[in-house]
């Protein structure tokens, strides 16, 4: 599952990098289905980072890896 999540994050990165930000994988808990990520660059301090996390990062990861239940900042 971790490899699938990492591959999806690599697809997301170019979109965030276009706005000066990025995302890094911190942890994947396969039992709970919770993925922890770190938003970096402009995304780390952006007031819209919560929307980016839920509407872009979480949505795309859950589409690609259905076992994921939630994506959180960690």
CATH of 2-73, one of 3.30.300.130, 3.30.70.240, 2.40.420.20, 3.30.470.10: 3.30.300.130
pTM here? 0.90
Predicted confidence (pLDDT) per residue in 13-39, tens digit: 999 999 899 999 999 999 999 999 999
pLDDT score, position 45: 80
Please state the domain extents for the chain.
2-73
Give 8-64 as a 3 state SS string: HHHHHHHHHHCCCEEEEEEEEECCCCEEEEEEEEHHHHCCCHHHHHHHHHHHHHHHH
């Amino acid at each position: 599952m971790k490899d699938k999540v990492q591959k999806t994050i690599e697809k997301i990165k170019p979109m965030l990098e276009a706005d000066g930000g990025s995302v890094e994988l911190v942890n994947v808990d396969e039992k709970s289905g919770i993925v922890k990520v770190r938003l970096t660059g402009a995304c780390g301090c952006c007031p819209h980072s919560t929307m980016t996390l839920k509407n872009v990062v979480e949505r795309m990861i859950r589409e690609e890896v259905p076992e994921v239940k939630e994506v959180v900042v960690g």
